[in-house]
Amino acid sequence: MKNLKQEIDHRRTFAIISHPDAGKTTLTEKFLLFGGAIQTAGAVKSNKIKKTATSDFMEIERQRGISVATSVMTFHYGGKLINILDTPGHKDFAEDTYRTLSAVDSVILVVDAAKGVEEQTRRLMEVCRMRDTPVIIFINKLDREGRDPYDLLEELSSMLNIEVRPLSWPIGKGGTFKGVYNLYGRTLNLFEADKQKVSENLLSIDDLSDARIDTFLGRQADQLREDVELIDEVYGEFDELPYLQGKLAPVFFGSALNNFGIKEMLDTFVRISPTPLPRPTDKGPIAPDDKDFSGFVFKIHANLDPRHRDRIAFVRVCSGKFERNKFFHHVRTGKKVRFSNPYTFFADSKEVLDEAWPGDVIGLYDTGNFKIGDSFTEGKDLNFQGIPEFSPEIFKELINDDPMRSKQLEKGIHQLTDEGVAQLFTQQPGNRVMVGVVGELQFDVIKYRLEHEYKAACHFTPMNIYKACWMTYTSEAKLHEFIQYRSKYIVKDKDDNYVFLADSKWTLDMAREKYPEITFHFNSEFKRAEV
């Protein structure tokens, strides 16, 4: 019989995050390669045909070469079961990434050695810092010309507001890149440019005076000795506790494309990364070793398999044991639910599982009953917290280009907005449909998926909207008066809540002044978060 504590200790659940093009999805694939989950890296160019990355399974991702959906993958490495969530790098899909961070226990942040800290890097790190999430930093693309490693460390510390401690060190960069020295394990890994194989050119070094270093590195041997001495003097010994508290970020260097410098990081990650952690709820924190099952939906994805038009709710197991065909309590609806075909994932493939434990991410088939943030328990009425929602920044009206496909369009826009990358509003009379998003690219993705997955032709027309404001009130009469007064700008969200689409800050300020009985909120979770 499996032991709950042993299963918790056996698991690691983390996300890989980065600015676009830093090499995040490539690194994800190389983890799978090291774990034996795949035999050939998807980023390899073969016969001038670029194979698509394993974790980029949506057709639009293949066409554009970007990740726009969070992929969930599981593999074994170093005696641990590792759940890895590869997130969108593009800022227009930041909401998906932010929600994913609520479902993991640690993070690996990928930084381009030539570009250093970029805009999205800072935003993502701010979310990690809010939760004190443990972070490991991987500085990528050392096989190309890039910034000085010391300058990068200084920039990471100052711009990301976190202490850093290098645990591997590059020997040269670009054309002079010879390998990395593992400061944590005291091994030297000599660089081989091979995108498909796992590099095993390791040299165990107990003492940096070892003459073999000079044989392999030549003139760069003395520079390595100086760098290691300086690093040890400036940074001291690595302490795991500040890392686990989210105050210190270990830093590794390498080349994801060439499978280099990754093993050093992965071996260290398995040793120092946290086991599944407690999760905050409205009834206090829930510990993973609580014997009763609990979990929450952090993502919903429609048409994971376009052939079957399925809709999958991604659930993070927080405590206890999940069992197939067992009845659980759906807190929001108060209903009992049972799952006969729960899934575990490997990119776009999935397998039915019989049980899952804290830290695992499972997929539950959903006919439209679940929402992001929903909690499942063995009977307790509790709601998990810290699952962020954001006010839309861009608004457009959805126009149906084929009235004969109206039902397909309606079904499609409802299912896609359930995934959380966009918010849906309707206005009566006339049944006008409006969509609010964080970034412009989301409209392209929604339009593409409506056309290709639902065969519904449509286009979007821009709207001049400043903010979507949910409303709470102390006087129902005043609310109805305001709705009549501003009817042109009043819509309802998917949960039938009234929303005021303010066309300017001045309009909103005037509404606040004239109707003090109404509170306007910039967050769709307005019952818990105010402006």
Rounded CA gap, 338 and 320, in Å?
16
- DSSP class of 465: -
Q: Are 11 and 279 in contact (CB under 8 A)?
A: no
Rg (CA), the chain: 25
Parts of the chain with a pLDDT under 50:
43-52, 54-58, 60-62, 64-70, 90, 92, 308, 347, 527-531
Please give the distance of CA 319 from its chain centroid, rounded to a whole number: 21
Domains by residue range for the chain, with CATH: 4-272 (3.40.50.300), 294-377 (2.40.30.10), 394-521 (3.30.70.3280)
Q: Are 208 and 221 in contact (CB under 8 A)?
A: no
Rounded CA gap, 222 and 229, in Å?
11
Rounded CA gap, 235 and 256, in Å?
26
Looking only at the bridges linking them, the beta strands covering 248-253 and 135-140 are parallel
Q: Are 364 and 333 in contact (CB under 8 A)?
A: no
Q: Are 340 and 352 in contact (CB under 8 A)?
A: no
User: What was the pLDDT predicted at 418?
Assistant: 77
Looking only at the bridges linking them, the beta strands covering 349-352 and 498-502 are unpaired
